[in-house]
Structure 1
């Protein structure tokens, strides 16, 4: 048995956290203790985290989560995984990016020569069209930053270890960031943004936090029991946004716009506004209630809806909206402009 084969055998014996003595290893591979010591030194030099315990009952072990059991994949299964990885790379930021790239390199190393060239450069043959910028809803835009990656990685590590995470969340509607202590439950990708789903320790509520607004994340030593009833699928289809809107309605001012029945049908198809409250009126119109009363969001919406839409609340914005619409009307009436 050559040193490489013996090193692999040692790794497999040490996997799972079980303590194995040097004498046991020497007998298993029919070599001297000095050879085993050299093998262990070689593994340490390669960065393998072998723990050594001295004494009569000492020995060597690997952390329990260092190696997963060997998995045999067919060529097509390997190709399917590499295709999925290439697809995921179309997302700007993903959890545990460095670990994903390391896993991809290991998969590529197992490929037969016939497909190595093709799938080893999967990005040349697999294209992903990123979600286009939504200029109508400006709040969906975010730049990729190191802090964003750190938030995803830290949250995922807390999720894997069943440990709480602490972080500061920067909500643009507040003047200062708020500290949060959260039990991670899952992560959600929606319209080019990552959301962290977790149970707030303070309020005992399930909340979603935009990952690009999270700073100073750290995994605490406080463990928790995962909720067996949690399923990220319950937040898909915009369900998370609908739940968030109901919470926002309790936290801030609400805008009201009277629209026609036809306009309400059109608005109900929008990914964002279909989750606001639609209340039919006796005259056949519909009152929509939006948990956002800022002009920068309301004015473009009313212009898009067109004639028949009327801003009811906040009343103090009606004059400014009227002035803006009057100026637009003046420009369009003047053939010289």
Structure 2
């Protein structure tokens, strides 16, 4: 275990340059004191690792020092081939490079690891879109990816829900979510999210973009996703659910709603249970979400939503009511 951790520290220092002890401790899931002991062990073994003091300090290897680590464990080799799933790479224009890298890696692996690594390609496939949905192929995705990698500003014409806008954007990252690509971009001092398929025009500018040193794409995306889900479900309702309604609630609800709903464990004499769950902004939005349950759900609170549900149900009943002449014909028949 310690030997594996020492190799992990060494490869991290070689890949990233300066790294702090707390960062190494978090990556290795050990205490900072353990990292101190591991660094001493590396230095005692002749590895030229040294510490830089101060607010911007950390551990680093002597400039020019490189270590060759050719040994891969079977799980590590398999994991590398899992990272080579072709769909997103092709969308970014990296499919040829991905294939070349994979072939070189396969050639470099020992014979004992090639069979398992090749098996990963045969037995795992990534299908990113939701069921019955299609993966988007945005026209400007590759241009944006190129600007992102080269730290160049882009000028875009974007169609939002309300209007078309033009923006100069500093590209910070691309995210593939449920078959759709999203761009995290720096605009007017803040970070915003753009759906790439809604970008109508895109030109890469020669002006360089200085990426904020403290920006972390994964952290931003998690926070942005939670914020959006909270904005889409700001209100709470109390509903009464039949046994089938409880099953539909589990099958049809998004993860955000499932994580925040409260469902009473004890059922009444008819088997119905009470649930409190987050819903959309307006009574109309909330009603359209709850109408999926049909007659298996009854809104108890708030009163305005209960009235809206009754209003929509009455309008639907009237819509499907047969015309008088058809009713008369049916009676004669």
Q: Give TM-score, length-normalised by structure 2.
A: 0.51
Deviations 1:210-242 (A, max 9, x none): 2333343332212222112212232355x3223
Q: Which residue of structure 2 lines up, in the alignment, with residue 106 of structure 1?
A: 104
Q: 1:89 to 1:323 in 2, by over 3 A?
A: same
Structure 1 vs Structure 2 CA RMSD: 4.8
Q: Is the counterpart of residue 83 in structure 1 residue 82 in structure 2? A: yes
Moved more, 255-264 or 76-85: 255-264
Q: Which ranges in structure 1 are unaligned for 5 or more consecutive residues? A: 1-68, 136-140, 279-283, 331-337
Helix, strand or coil for the counterpart of 1:80?
helix
Q: Are the equivalent residues in 1 in contact too, given 2:158–2:200 (CA < 8 A)? A: yes
Helix, strand or coil for the counterpart of 1:301?
helix
Q: Name the structure where helix makes up a greater proportion of residues.
A: 2
CA distance in 1, matches of 2:110, 2:88: 28
Q: Within 5 A, what are the aligned runs for 1:168-187?
A: 168-171=157-160, 173-174=161-162, 177-187=164-174
Alignment: residue pair count: 234
Query: Post-superposition shift, 1:78?
Result: 4.6
Q: Which residue of structure 2 lines up, in the alignment, with residue 154 of structure 1?
A: 143
Q: Which ranges in structure 2 are unaligned for 5 or more consecutive residues? A: 1-65, 263-273, 323-333
Q: Are the equivalent residues in 1 in contact too, given 2:173–2:183 (CA < 8 A)? A: yes
Q: Which residue of structure 2 lines up, in the alignment, with residue 144 of structure 1?
A: 136
Q: Are the equivalent residues in 2 in contact too, given 1:91–1:130 (CA < 8 A)? A: no
Q: 1:242 to 1:109 in 2, by over 3 A?
A: same
Deviations 1:237-268 (A, max 9, x none): 5x32233367x78xxxx99674339899x699
Q: Is the counterpart of residue 233 in structure 1 residue 225 in structure 2? A: no
Q: Within 5 A, what are the aligned runs for 1:38-117?
A: 73-76=70-73, 77-85=76-84, 88-89=85-86, 94-98=91-95, 99-113=97-111, 115-116=113-114
1:260 to 235, 239, 247: 239
Deviations 1:122-151 (A, max 9, x none): 421x3136357367xxxxx4433252xx41
Q: Which residue of structure 2 lines up, in the alignment, with residue 299 of structure 1?
A: 288
Query: Post-superposition shift, 1:316?
Result: 8.3
Q: Are the equivalent residues in 2 in contact too, given 1:144–1:212 (CA < 8 A)? A: yes
Query: Post-superposition shift, 1:191?
Result: 3.2
Q: Which residue of structure 2 lines up, in the alignment, with residue 190 of structure 1?
A: 177
Q: Which residue of structure 2 lines up, in the alignment, with residue 220 of structure 1?
A: 205
Q: Are the equivalent residues in 1 in contact too, given 2:287–2:309 (CA < 8 A)? A: no
Q: 1:168 to 1:245 in 2, by over 3 A?
A: farther
Q: Is the counterpart of residue 167 in structure 1 residue 159 in structure 2? A: no
Q: 1:105 to 1:293 in 2, by over 3 A?
A: farther
Q: Are the equivalent residues in 2 in contact too, given 1:186–1:232 (CA < 8 A)? A: yes
CA distance in 2, matches of 1:318, 1:92: 50
Q: Which residue of structure 1 lines up, in the alignment, with residue 327 of structure 2?
A: none
Q: Within 5 A, what are the aligned runs for 1:115-134?
A: 115-116=113-114, 119-120=117-118, 122-124=120-122, 126-128=123-125, 130=127, 133=130
CA distance in 1, matches of 2:235, 2:321: 24
Query: Post-superposition shift, 1:292?
Result: 7.3
Query: Post-superposition shift, 1:168?
Result: 3.1
CA distance in 2, matches of 1:90, 1:105: 17
Q: 1:130 to 1:165 in 2, by over 3 A?
A: same
Q: 1:89 to 1:113 in 2, by over 3 A?
A: same
